[in-house]
Amino acid sequence: MPRSTGNHSALGIPNSKLVKLLVLNGPNLNLLGRREPEVYGSASAADLEAGLRAAFPEVAFAFEQHNGEGALIDALQAADADGETDGVVFNPGGYAHTSVALRDAVAAIQTPVVEVHISNVWAREDFRQRLVTAPAAAGVVSGFGVAGYRLAVRYFMEHMS
């Protein structure tokens, strides 16, 4: 059952059904649509946000993007501490391959995390095929472009009702 119980009747959504998710993006994901579009696609961060809001009107989304490792850790801990966030859709970017600190932050919180990667990390360079953060997550979606975010949200919708 979702932890969110705020008044959302203005949205036409019963309070007990609203799911609150944080979509947390790591370094360079603010450059979506411009950075290596042959790898990451042409959708911008704004397109990603608008697409998720349109596809899941019953979800209360919060969106954050941080280039710094510490800010990502702070966002994970804050989402867990607020007592309302039901899950985190997390693309740690390049930190997924290197950051024990982020792995430990995901493992330390009670709020479930689904890790998302836009590209298929296992079809790329050797160093990208090792995900330090993934073992602490509930699951990983990789290689489906920005549609991977929708798959992660769908996981929460199906497992939180």
Which of the residues are catalytic?
Answer: 40, 117
> Any residues with CB less than 8 A from the CB of 74 and at least 6 apart, and which?
none
- Cα dihedral 25→122→151→80 (10° resolution): -40
Sheet holding 59-65, edge to edge: 59-65, 19-25, 87-91, 113-117, 139-142
Cα Rg of the chain, angstroms: 15
Return the half-sphere exposure (C-beta side, CA atoms, 13 A cut-off) of residue 136. Answer: 21
The secondary structure of residue 40, as a DSSP letter, is: H
CA–CA distance, 16 with 2 (Å, rounded to integer): 7
